[in-house]
Amino acid sequence: MVVLIYHRVGGRSPSPVDLPGGVFEHHLDVLAESGRVVDLDTATAVLTGRPAELAAGPHEPDEDGIPRVVITFDDGTADWPDVVMPALVARGLPATFYVSTDFVDRQRLFPDEGRPVSWAGLDDMAGTGLATIGSHTQTHHVLADATTQVAADELDRSIATIEDHLGVPCRHFAYPKAIAPSAAADVVVRRRCHTAALASNRANVAGTTDLHRLCRHALTVADDDASFARKLAGGMWIEGWLRERRDALRPVAHEYAT
């Protein structure tokens, strides 16, 4: 099972995670043609082998050696309902969107002038039946050295805000900057969320994957067609390993700048 990370589409900003619209549309065309995209709940059923009815039929895992694919987005920018969701709906592709809720509540800009999504936009997305809304903490707080209290506050506020505004359960979580948590934060996340996602450019294997350590492949403007194809096949783990080493060596910047 391969899980892809996107962030923004079509903003024409300097951000390396702001993909040109044409590139994103091409990715979706490839994914739609493959017929291998599944929603996150189906993916977790496949990875754990239960319930059987979800893992059957067209979602039978990797019977020909080619991984199934889950699409995810991090942060919470205004292009999601305006650009991303129409492209997904046109192709019938599901995706999971991890939201840092304080940016939505206070309409705080993300780096590189990333305009935040609105609650109305997120509600419209959820209404399509193709968007699963998950938590990305309240303030995009990196949990690498978080105490139990800090982690619980970040998750509880974020989850409650999503559920109050959208009226849907919030059961999935992605770590900000895809950086692994402290031991205390790990316990908090496991108690509150059905899954938790990182990065690392590795495929997730049925029967052995820890659902609270889901691996994901990040897509940036540096990815050409060849690297996209390699990530889609579960490759480029060295890129992920180098990112993990870099994150382990640099000081933790806990939040995006206000």
Tell me the CATH number at 16.
3.20.20.370
Domain count, the chain: 1
Length of the chain measured in residues: 258
15 within domain boundaries? yes
How high is the pLDDT of residue 91? 98
How high is the pLDDT of residue 49? 84
Cα–Cα distance for residue pair 98/100, rounded to 1 Å: 7
Predicted confidence (pLDDT) per residue in 199-242, tens digit: 988 999 999 999 999 999 999 999 999 999 999 999 876 665 56
179 within domain boundaries? yes
153 within domain boundaries? yes
Under 8 Å between Cβ of 45 and 55 = yes
256 within domain boundaries? no
257 within domain boundaries? no
Q: Burial letters for 197-235: b for 16+ Cβ neighbours within 10 Å, e otherwise?
A: bbbbbbbbebeebebbbbbbbbbeeebeeebbebbbebb
Please indicate, yes or no, whether the overall pTM of this predicted structure exceeds 0.85. Answer: yes
41-45, 63-67, 164-168: least confidently modelled range: 63-67
Domain that holds residue 10: 2-249
Using DSSP, how many helices (H) and how many strands (E) does the chain show? 10, 9
Using CA atoms, how far residue 243 sits from 115, 178, 236, 240, in Å, is 26, 10, 11, 5
254 within domain boundaries? no
Residues 6+ apart with CB under 8 A from 172: 40, 96, 98, 132, 134, 135, 193, 194, 195, 196, 197
28 within domain boundaries? yes
How high is the pLDDT of residue 139? 97
45 within domain boundaries? yes
